[in-house]
Each structure stands twice: as structure tokens, then as C-alpha cells.
Amino acid sequence: EAGVAQSPRYKIIEKRQSVAFWCNPISGHATLYWYQQILGQGPKLLIQFQNNGVVDDSQLPKDRFSAERLKGVDSTLKIQPAKLEDSAVYLCASRRPAGTGYTGANEKLFFGSGTQLSVL
Amino acid sequence: RKEVEQDPGPFNVPEGATVAFNCTYSNSASQSFFWYRQDCRKEPKLLMSVYSSGNEDGRFTAQLNRASQYISLLIRDSKLSDSATYLCVVNLYTDKLIFGTGTRLQVFP
């Protein structure tokens, strides 16, 4: 099966500019996650979608970050304006939700290759 | 207190050694648990799920202690190829998947 697609692979911007990342999950995966991974740290959950609805965005800095998944398939994550501390790898992951007839709670995450963002 | 905590290491061990990592979680309602492996500049990949009764996959053994709220990973007969960062992942309610900071393992000849 095709994997999770992300683009761009790399992005370099100056602080206060805006940037957008795109993710296309595995077909049929209802749950989509955006994680931020700063060098030397574990991935931090920014936002979780179930179909086109937001399940959790408690860690999303909403004054500058926004995300959408309008048709319940692909998703975009935007930063506006960017700060130096936003330099990180942005990982998109998808997963089948619990209770779909699979072993829901133990379903694994499928990650894209990530977007490495450098803010100068 | 962080939701998922791990010792960041690094753990430097010789080939053939046995090494163990622990991970603690704060939410007693957590549903399921995993260990992921992340190689340098790569995305995380599932190593194994962690079941209540403990489970083994070749040289890897995972244990869960719900009473004490910790998870462990044991690697026996370490190989050079085991060098990576090991991430503990906890599934909270509503499939909210939280990663620990990761434990870095370096296996040397």
C-alpha cells in the first residue's frame, strides 16, 4: 500500500514569514496526526484529526499555527508568522481509529518522511 | 509532570550486551503502549506493542506494569544495527498518542 505522503521535504524561511506543509495519509485512515520534533526531543503532538474533525489541538500554538483537513483526507499545517523556535521536523502520521473492527487501540502509526523546517 | 518520561541516555553498550530502558506515564487511564525506533534523520517506526502479560519479539522483550505505570524494553545480545533512539508511546483516551523524549542507544564493537 502507498505510504503517507508529505511535502515539501525541506523548507528554509526567514522569521516572520509564513509556511505551509501538506500531508496525504494512507487511503482509508481516518485518524491523522501532526507532530513537531525538535532536534534531540521526541515528537510532540500538535493536532489530531478524526476524519475532518479536530479531536485534540491542546498543544497547537493557535496564535500562529493552524491546520485543516477539509474533506477528511489530506491535511495542511500552516505557520504564520514563523519564529526561530519553530525550526523542527514536522511529521504527519495516520492510523485507523479504534473500534473499526481492527485491534483499534493497538493500531500502529504510519509516518511520512517529514518536512524539515529551518527558520533563519 | 510530563505525560510520558524516559531517560534520554545515551546508553553506550558493547555488542552482545543486554540493555534495558524504562518509561513512565502519568495517566492511569492510558489504553495501550508501544515502543518505536527512530534512526537518525528518519521517521519513527513501530518496534513492538506492549501487552499486559509482557511480550517478546526475538531479542526484544517488552513489559507493562500498570500498577506502577511504567513500561520497559529489554534488548538482548545487542547488535551494531540496534543503535538508534527508542521512543516510548502511550495511547491516551481517544487515540491521543503521546511520545516520550526517547532514549538513545549506541552499540559499539
Query: Looking at chain B, which residue has its C-alpha nearest residue A103?
Result: B32
Asked if the model's pLDDT at residue B76 lies above 80, the reply is yes
> Are the beta carbons of A48 and B34 separated by less than 8 Å?
no
Residues A1-54: pLDDT tens digits? 679 999 999 999 999 999 999 999 998 888 999 999 999 999 999 999 998 899
Q: What does residue B81 show for φ and ψ, rounded to 5 degrees? A: -70, -10
Quick check: A91 contacting B, CB < 8 Å? Answer: yes
- What average pLDDT does the segment A91-107 reach? 71
Over range B24-38, report the average pLDDT.
Answer: 93
What does the pLDDT read at residue B95? 85
Q: Which carries the bigger pLDDT value, residue A29 or residue A103? A: A29
Number of C-beta neighbours around residue A71 at 10 A: 9
User: What residue in A sits closest to B3 (Cα-Cα)?
Assistant: A44
Picking from B47, B97, B99, B101 by the largest number of A CB atoms within 10 A of its own CB, the best residue to mutate is B97
On the question of pLDDT at A104 being above 70, the answer is no
A45/B contact by beta carbon, under 8 A:
yes
Residue B8 has pLDDT above 70, yes or no: yes
User: B51: nearest CA in chain A?
Assistant: A106
**Per-window interface: B 32-61 vs A, CB < 8 A:** 32, 34, 36, 43-46, 49
